[in-house]
Chain A
């Protein structure tokens, strides 16, 4: 079952551009930190049911998952999927020593979530002139989580991907929004387009 996208063509285009800009800012801050080029995907925007959200997130390959909620003018949740592959190489670029302890790994994951997911949300909010506060990320396992219990039953999903080619590392960031926040965002987009 697919849900119709609750945005018109112009709103979708505008949101995509805003995400693009936010991703550029996020990628640049990480690129400066690790002195490595980062590729960014074209943002994907869709509307999904909880089951679809699960399949969108879950990867057959060994991956790490985090979620963090945000509050403010718009509410929602940011879920990130980080590849285990290449994580050690990225850690080395971030000046961690091998072998990584469990604590190191957690710290690096939190750091990447803050830099990429956090900066992306901050950039998006700033451009929309909305205030959002992002909570700390926590690790979770999608296959042990009941997606039907999520607050976002008909969530607007914005998906972006960062790739560090030299390390074969990739990270996907998925933003979920509730209906109320979606309305608010649509109004702001219309104002920007006017």
Chain B
């Protein structure tokens, strides 16, 4: 069975890097969103078990996506992956229901550990 993953990041480079960092031994059904608006549309139209979310994005940013999800019943596990990881940012994000906060550049091991802790591995 494949895991449905939504990768939301405005940078193609970062989306590539995130997708490449997913543990190899599983199957994924990957959808990409290039901004927060696209991410919310994707979340409305399909079910995802995992959202890998950047914070700094045009249109709607990562916090906007978290705010949207906060009001929803069914939601994916959200792992925020951000270049801005000063403590204040982390607090906001965790309060809005993100399960993990990982730093860019993304470390494969850290992602695998987060997925393991969330029971997805």
Contact = CB atoms under 8 A, between A and B. Distances in A.
Given A24-B104, A127-B105, A17 B14 contact: yes
Interface in B9-53: 11-14, 16-17
Interface string A29-53: 0010000011010000000000000
Nearest to A17: B11
Nearest to A126: B105
B104 A21 contact: yes
Interface string A6-19: 00001001101110
Contact of A20 (B83, B85, B86): B83
Q: How large is the interface on A (under 10, 10 to 19, 20 to 34, 35 or more residues)?
A: 20 to 34
Contact of A24 (B17, B85, B88): B85
Contacts of A164: none
Interface string A117-161: 000000000110000000000000000000000000000000000
Interface string B44-82: 000000000000100000000000000000000000001
Nearest to A194: B16
Interface in B89-109: 103-105
